[in-house]
Amino acid sequence: MTDAAFQAWLDDHAATRIVLAELDHAAGTEYVATHPYISRPGDSDPNRIHDDLLAEAIDIETRIDARLTFGQVRLINDGELDDWLGYAWAGHEIRLYLGGPDWSRDDFRLHARGINQGITGARRGELAFGMLDQSAPLDEPIDTGSLPLDGGPVPLALGSVYNAPAFRVSTSALRYRASYLAAATFTPKELGNGVPHTDDLVGGEFTLDNAPGGALTVDIDEAHNTPAQVVSWVAAQYGITVAESGLPAYAVGLYYADAVSGRQILDDLCVGMGGYWYLNALGELVIKQHIEPSGVDLTLYADDIIASTLELIETQAPWSALTLRWGRNFSPLSTVAGTIEDNDATEAERLKRQWRESTAAQSLPGYPQAEGASRESALTTSADADTERDRLLAMRAVRRDVWRMDAFLPESSVGQAVTVDVAPLAGRAGRIISVNRAPTRGITTLEIWL
């Protein structure tokens, strides 16, 4: 079956849909469905029986806040599944496939992939499993190794990092570890003043010529200095495929002296540039910037929306001003070398402050309760900070609304540009920020930011 034929089938609201579920456990895989199903002899997995024990379709909700949630996997148990209570399910994969009851198994499409949370309920007539999205492993800290003498994890530096701490790793030499990853350059400083040293860039270390007489910090330049490069590196650490990476090519810098997870890195990357990320139902990473629609991906008409489900659920006040913090100082100094104080007042001030700031205001006489906002970012240049500040401020020059509705719409995705040709939304373009779909019913609950 071609992609076009599959999409046409999805668009047919009268089509009968079934879900096949493959449930892995420590001893093998179990096959169930919402309807009795046996694969064909010529399929790649021939004559596979799927017992019709899947009690209902599993709702899948994807949100702009990086959380994908699933409803429970509920199975009918008339006693036949009692042996399943002893299986080791937690942590193993669940795969859901969508298709028609008379289809070849090879024409079914992978609809969602998740992680079995384990048995969440067992009672007469029912066995239930929790299902986690595949972003759960992103909560696991990245293993950067350990510093000597119980010094904690080796620091992780990504991109251009200003004034980070350095950690001595030898008792016999003035050798310091600055980065888990190889660096392009190190610039160690004593009280902000550069000091002579020898680099081991591949090993993430440097050795001083002389013992420091004051606070030792280091500027680090590392290769992953754009959002796309950071995203690719994080995804690789967890074996995740990047389906879409749509952040701008700003210069960035991120630094972690303590244990850090992939989720935290992606959150920190997104927060200061209006970005969002999530793993789609197939477990692939999608990361984008929230932008004003320049076109329309989808138009909903009155016949597409279930009567009485259109609802305003949130209003967001405009911003009268925005302060975007950038160029983070990862180890602010209380005392700066005299040569810096005397000859470079700007650098001396930067060494003492945690952030540089880009601030702008806008006049909004129609919104007397407009509020000021602030954001911290991973940006490292003034030009990028000013550009992003102005973009975010312009996007919040008017009140923003979030509307919820149920639509006869089997396929849609977070981030799509949409118009709803129904009063009071007619003529306004927005973006989908939440999708909750029930695959066999062809009904999707949407939240749209306008």
Look up tokens 């119980």; give the residue.
150
Cα 28 from Cα 33, distance rounded (Å): 17
What does the block give as tokens for 164? 């980070």
CA 340 to chain centre: 41
For CA atoms 314, 297, 387, 186, the dihedral sign is positive
Cα 153 from Cα 131, distance rounded (Å): 32
User: Going by C-beta distance under 8 Å and a sequence separation of 6 or more, which residues neighbour residue 293?
Assistant: 417, 418, 429, 430, 431
What confidence tens digit (pLDDT) does each residue in 99-119 have?
999 999 999 988 888 889 999
Look up tokens 């709803």; give the residue.
420
Q: Strands 417-420, 298-300: parallel, antiparallel or unpaired by DSSP?
A: parallel
SS3 at position 311: strand
- pLDDT at res. 111: 82
Look up residue 265 and give its amino acid: I
Instruction: Tell me the whole-structure pTM to 2 decimals.
Output: 0.82
- pLDDT at res. 57: 61
Cis omega (within 30 of 0) on the bond before 227? no
User: Can you list the residues of the chain whose pLDDT is less than 70?
Assistant: 56-57, 65-69, 281, 409-411, 439-442
Domain boundaries, the chain: 3-133, 134-289+319-396, 298-316+399-449
User: Contact 51/33 with Cβ under 8 angstroms?
Assistant: yes
Cα 58 from Cα 440, distance rounded (Å): 9
Cα 366 from Cα 85, distance rounded (Å): 62
Spell out a b/e string for 73-92, using b for 16 or more CB atoms within 10 Å of the CB, else e: bbbbbeeebeebeebebeeb
Which whole-number Å values give the CA distances from 130 to 94, 248, 305, 353, in the listed order? 10, 37, 30, 47
User: Contact 418/431 with Cβ under 8 angstroms?
Assistant: yes
What does the block give as tokens for 91? 């942590």
- pLDDT at res. 32: 95
